[in-house]
Amino acid sequence: MTDLNEIYKSVLEADRAAVVICDLEHIIIYMNPAAISRYAKWGGKALLGKSLLNCHNEKSREMIGKVLEWFRASKDNNIVYTSYNEKENKDVYMVALRNETGELIAYYEKHEYRNKETMTMYNMD
């Protein structure tokens, strides 16, 4: 049988959008290859084990704290729209990660690009 953890990691590794997962103390515990590349000028892979809060201004740190409080307040509080990046034409969200009992265990920032895909459908050449 295939290991589900291996499958989950593979999904994250294949994603073209940056995925940075933080624990509840805001420590960066995972970065997919897209995130390592995207944040290379700030340290890339060297950001692992460091505080996400060091990468944000005071207002952003305050908002991250408020979102985390909101995630903790209810098992139903799981995603918050945080910004629109006009330059990259994308929406940005903070997403709660929970265990099987609904306990908050981590969070990540989700990027949803609005650009139409330019890849040719089913082109496997």
SS3 5: helix
Domain assignment of residue 22, given as a range: 4-113
Closest by Cα among 76, 52, 74 to 65: 52
For residue range 6-45, list pLDDT tens digits in order.
Answer: 999 999 999 999 999 999 999 999 999 999 999 999 999 9
* Residue 124 included in any domain: no
- Tell me, yes or no, whether 121 lies in a domain: no
Q: How confident is the model at residue 81 (pLDDT cuts 50, 70, 90)?
A: very high
The confidence band for 123, taking pLDDT boundaries of 50, 70 and 90, is confident
Does residue 79 sit in helix, strand or coil?
strand
Say if 62 falls within a structural domain.
yes
Residue 125, domain member (yes or no): no
Number of domains in the chain: 1
Looking at 14-23, 85-94, 115-124, which range is the least confident one?
115-124
In a domain, 122, yes or no: no
Residue 96: the pLDDT is 98
Furthest-apart CA pair in the chain: how many Å? 49
* Residue in this structure with the two tokens 């103390």, named with its chain if needed: 25
- For position 65, which CATH number holds? 3.30.450.20
